[in-house]
């Protein structure tokens, strides 16, 4: 029988044997032609610890530690991740659309997050990348609705009208309530963005309009990642909320509500029916549509509003150029065309771009569909995941200079210090909306909506922190959105400005999109 003094020795021998086994397993299963494996001090475990404890900071740390590696491998139990570490490798990966694809992830989301039927999943997952397939044609179908032109103009105009009416109501409430109203910034923005977005998309019969549907959405959204991982029992509230929303959306389409909705709602419906999806599955697909429209829009709107409102210099810079666009309407009213804000407010746009650069924590993931030699340099094995990390690209000093970690609202202005850095030097340095064939098609709508809201807010109100001074909110990493959530409440008083009058807010239209991706900058925003 072993004595008590033998137990620590036995444990130590067991741990040592296990460690040697893992080292040997890593050595035998890692092909020397693959990108080099890193974080191997504790094989298969080290990367998991780093991801959980450091989140996206884990990848910037590895970037700084392994600057000589264009790509590297993270080995996890039963899987491997290839991380793009160099800006020059991003376009190389993006060109391999047939072998390093996003479509398997889209198909998985339709099944696990949206709750589509087996029949619908078969439609989505069969020949996913073939010409004419459901997933390969989706962007083509909705392109007329979200690209610069009449469809996007109508969408923007509808959202601007909702925002303008809501701020009218806020001003009226303030005037009858002692001259101000109190709001919590994130909750205020979340409600306004959710309503403006869904009203613009779905039109007069918007199925998401009622407060119950909005509450259901807020219950569903935080559970998206757990649903994606196939763990619905961990987020039963999210699952139940999704199942409660689907019949309401199904009724909207059954009644023909989309016929009076936006071109986007009609295009999505036409795409779904063209590929044979049934009524319930069409409603399920709209769960993904709402997520794409609001999940990242809300936190990005928060950080944009926070930086504009809390910094007196930024606020003054943006307010000056906005006030130059204000004209006199009839009967003593003020007037502004929000379409001009898109093209004639470079300081406001630069601040928005800098928010996207600094706060985007997005990870562009792809699946390797077959063994592939990338650029003739690296073997990528079938079934592995390739990841391109936004914070790695957005803080690369070779593109952004020594001030890469600092927030500079003037950074994207041409002709100023730093204004020629970033995407002007490398197309791959600025990726808030992804890039290549998966560049977010809704980026112009979301950006215009947020710019419109913040522009009207600072024109019409003085915004005062309830505690007398602005505090920097903590950032809580989110498993659902590509930007962090605020970890603190930001309580504010909205005080109508002394010269605030009734407003005529219009959106005349524009044939140019916003420069919110490197591709847009190269094409002049078109």
Binding residues for heme: 440
C-alpha 197/C-alpha 143 separation (Å) is: 18
The DSSP output letter for 199 is H
Sign of CA dihedral 322, 497, 452, 157: negative
**Residues whose CB is less than 8 angstroms from the CB of residue 53 and which lie 6 or more positions away in sequence, other chains included:** none
C-alpha 427/C-alpha 87 separation (Å) is: 9
Report the candidate in 458, 488, 452, 463 with the shortest Cα–Cα distance to residue 473.
488
Angle CA(59)–CA(65)–CA(69) in degrees, nearest 5? 85
Token pair of 228 as six digits: 């994606």
**Residues whose CB is less than 8 angstroms from the CB of residue 228 and which lie 6 or more positions away in sequence, other chains included:** 108, 109, 112, 113
Contact 47, 39 (CB under 8 A): yes
C-alpha 163/C-alpha 168 separation (Å) is: 9
Question: How crowded is the C-beta side of 231, counted as CA atoms within 13 Å?
Answer: 7
Tell me the pairing of strands 79-84 and 71-76.
Answer: antiparallel
If 0-12 CB within 10 Å is exposed, 13-18 middle and 19+ buried, where does residue 376 land? exposed
C-alpha 227/C-alpha 111 separation (Å) is: 9
Annotated binding residues, as ranges? 440
Q: Which helix (H) or strand (E) holds 463?
A: strand 461-465
Token pair of 244 as six digits: 């409660």
The CB density around residue 320, as the number of other CB atoms within 10 Å, is: 11
What phi and psi, each to the nearest 5 degrees, are found at residue 303? -70, -30
Token pair of 66 as six digits: 């392994």
Q: What DSSP line would sit under 468-519, residue for residue?
A: SS--PPPEE--SSSSSPEESS--EEEEEE-TT---EEEE----SS----SHH
Token pair of 63 as six digits: 């970037």
């Amino acid at each position: 029988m072993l004595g008590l003094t033998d137990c620590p020795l036995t444990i130590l021998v067991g741990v040592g044997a296990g460690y040697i086994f893992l080292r040997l397993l890593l050595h035998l299963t890692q092909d020397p032609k693959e990108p080099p494996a890193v974080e191997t001090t504790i094989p298969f475990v080290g990367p998991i610890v780093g991801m959980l404890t450091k989140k996206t900071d884990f990848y910037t740390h590895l970037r700084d530690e392994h600057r000589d590696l264009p790509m590297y491998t993270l080995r996890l139990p039963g899987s491997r991740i290839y991380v793009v570490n160099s800006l020059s490798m991003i376009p190389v990966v993006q060109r391999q659309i047939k072998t390093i694809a996003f479509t398997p992830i889209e198909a998985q989301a339709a099944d696990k997050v949206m709750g589509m039927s087996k029949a619908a999943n078969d439609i989505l997952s069969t020949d996913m990348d073939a010409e004419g397939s459901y997933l390969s044609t989706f962007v083509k179908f909705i392109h007329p609705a979200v690209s610069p032109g009449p469809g996007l103009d109508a969408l923007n105009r509808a959202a601007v009208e909702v925002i303008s009416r809501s701020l009218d109501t806020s001003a009226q409430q303030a005037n009858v309530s002692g001259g101000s109203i109190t709001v919590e910034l994130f909750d205020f923005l979340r409600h306004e963005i959710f309503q403006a977005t869904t009203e613009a998309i779905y039109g007069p019969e918007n199925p998401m309009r009622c407060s119950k549907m909005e509450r259901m959405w807020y219950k569903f959204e935080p559970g998206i990642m757990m649903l994606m991982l196939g763990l619905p029992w961990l987020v039963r509230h999210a699952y139940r909320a999704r199942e409660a929303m689907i019949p309401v959306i199904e009724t909207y389409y059954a009644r023909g509500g989309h016929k009076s909705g936006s071109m986007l709602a009609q295009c999505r419906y036409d795409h779904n029916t063209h590929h044979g999806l049934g009524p319930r599955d069409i409603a399920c697909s709209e769960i993904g549509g709402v997520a794409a429209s609001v999940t990242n829009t809300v936190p990005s709107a928060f950080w944009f509003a926070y930086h504009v409102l809390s910094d007196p210099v930024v606020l003054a810079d943006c307010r000056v150029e906005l006030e130059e666009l204000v004209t006199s309407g009839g009967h003593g009213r003020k007037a502004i065309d929000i379409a001009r804000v898109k093209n004639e407010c470079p300081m406001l746009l630069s601040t928005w771009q800098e928010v996207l650069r600094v706060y985007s924590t997005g990870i562009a993931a792809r699946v390797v569909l077959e063994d592939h030699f990338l650029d003739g340099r690296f073997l990528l094995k079938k079934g592995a995941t390739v990841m391109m990390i936004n914070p790695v690209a957005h803080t690369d000093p070779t593109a952004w200079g020594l001030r890469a970690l600092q927030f500079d609202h003037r950074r994207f202005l041409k002709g100023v210090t730093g204004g020629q850095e970033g995407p002007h030097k490398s197309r791959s340095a600025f990726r808030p909306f992804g890039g290549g064939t998966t560049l977010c098609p809704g980026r112009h709508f979301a950006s215009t909506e947020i710019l419109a809201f913040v522009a009207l807010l600072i024109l019409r109100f003085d915004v005062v922190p309830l505690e007398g001074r602005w505090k920097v909110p903590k950032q809580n990493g989110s498993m659902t959105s590509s930007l962090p959530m605020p970890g603190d409440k930001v309580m504010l008083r909205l005080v109508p400005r002394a010269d605030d009058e009734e407003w005529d807010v219009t959106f005349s239209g524009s044939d140019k999109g916003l420069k919110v991706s490197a591709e847009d900058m190269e094409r002049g925003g078109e």
